[in-house]
Amino acid sequence: MTEIETGSGSGTEDAASTPSPPRRPLRQLLAASVGNAVEWYDWYAYTFLATHIARQVFPSHAGDSLVPLLSTFAVFAVGFFMRPVGGLLMGAIADRRGRRTALTVTILLMGGSSLLVGLTPAYTAVGVLSPVVLVAARLLQGLSVGGEFAASTTFLVESAGPGRRGLFSSFQYVSTSIGQLAASGLAALLVARLPEDAMNGWGWRVPFLLGAVLSLAGFWIRRGAEETLAARPVGGRPRPGLFDALRHHPRASLLIAGITAGGTLAYYTWTSYLPTYAELETGIAKGDALLAGTLSLALFTLLQPVGGLLSDRFGRKPCLLFFGLGFALLVVPLLRALDGSFGSLLLVQCAGMVLLTGFTSVSAAVNAEVFPARVRAAGIGFPYSLTVALFGGTAPYIGTLLQELGRPGLFPWYVAVLCLCSSAVYLRLPERAHEPLDR
């Protein structure tokens, strides 16, 4: 198999350009996880408060309550389409200047953009300037999150000791889920405690202002992390260019896209859109939908290290196939099982979280094992973030649009088909769980 296929034949210069795993891997794990949790708390707060943001930022259309919600989810998708740019730019910084440098830049960007969302003026006060400010904030958030995944994925996996890449990989989604859990829990608490008028007026702003403060704490923690890449030219070889990964490893880039497509659609459907889907499709109370999402996220968080350990023992492919084939077969009956009750929604969400673990717990390790160290961050960041933008970022919008068109039953089939396509990629994926990581 060629170097492009394996991503591990970069030679002695690449091996010399990165040090051995850091001496204090648990500290590395903490630095990556805390900062990542803050990043994703800021990102997901928008999703859970979408309906309240819609009432403040977009004008209502008489007789069509879905128009503001569709507009808000369109801005959600716009943020996703900045993620490939962030993955490419911040990935290049991580490959050229070091992972820690990129991680500190991304968390400062997220803090600033979260503050901007929290201070977005209402449409009734400033007119069209209101959605313009919101779009600008989401563009910055997309840039930050795209770069965050590229840098933190490489940082986590390169910090792992022998036989622990899967375990360290799982903390990508442990920390993501903690951030999401915090955003969901705070949103549920605010909805339960505040009157509707207060929630629509100022209550939805609180999580974003808090996120800006938390970003400063994450920045301070990350500054003390140990660098996993010696960012210097070796043997006269220049630092990698912006498009080196795409130019020299096109097959690996396509492989990242195939691995990610089904997983990202299923992930954002289950963790972000499902409460809204259940609310629109079955009429379940908003508070119950948020509570079910919060409880299932807690289960999901606990499952991630288990999946990572299993992948270190038995390989990445069995975990990926468990997810891909399981979702392809079960997503339609699971979503049809929703009947408007809290119990059915909680059961459906928890079942999906178990299946999702097969993808989320190993995706960082699988991605890092595809590319050589010299272009690993940018190599992962661009194709991964582009795929997430195309399939994950549009999931809420497509689901809501199909609801408005009177064809909500098509959405589960869309998820099933894409998961089946990714499963075909998993079947042909080389198993590298027990091979040394290129350094």
Predicted local confidence at residue 22, as pLDDT: 61
Predicted local confidence at residue 67, as pLDDT: 55
Summarised one tens digit per residue, pLDDT across range 318-344 is 999 999 999 999 999 999 888 888 999
Find out whether 190 and 205 touch, Cβ atoms under 8 Å.
no
Biggest alpha carbon–alpha carbon distance for the chain: 68
Q: Which residues of the chain, if any, have pLDDT below 70?
A: 1-23, 59-70, 72-73, 76-77, 229-239, 241-242, 438-439
Neighbours of 162 (CB within 10 A): 10
Q: How far apart are CA 164 and CA 298, in angstroms?
A: 23
CATH of 20-227+245-428, one of 3.40.50.720, 1.20.1250.20, 2.30.40.10, 3.40.190.10: 1.20.1250.20
Predicted local confidence at residue 17, as pLDDT: 43
Q: Strand, coil or helix: what is 237?
A: strand
pTM of the model: 0.79
Percentages (nearest 5) of helix, strand, coil residues in the chain: 80, 0, 20
Q: Strand, coil or helix: what is 67?
A: helix
Predicted local confidence at residue 1, as pLDDT: 37
For the chain, what are the domain ranges? 20-227+245-428
Predicted local confidence at residue 329, as pLDDT: 95
Predicted local confidence at residue 38, as pLDDT: 85
Residue among 275, 160, 298, 306 nearest 228 (CA): 160
CA dihedral 342, 344, 349, 351 (to 10 degrees): 150
Residue that is written with structure tokens 């900045």 in the block: 82
Predicted local confidence at residue 6, as pLDDT: 42
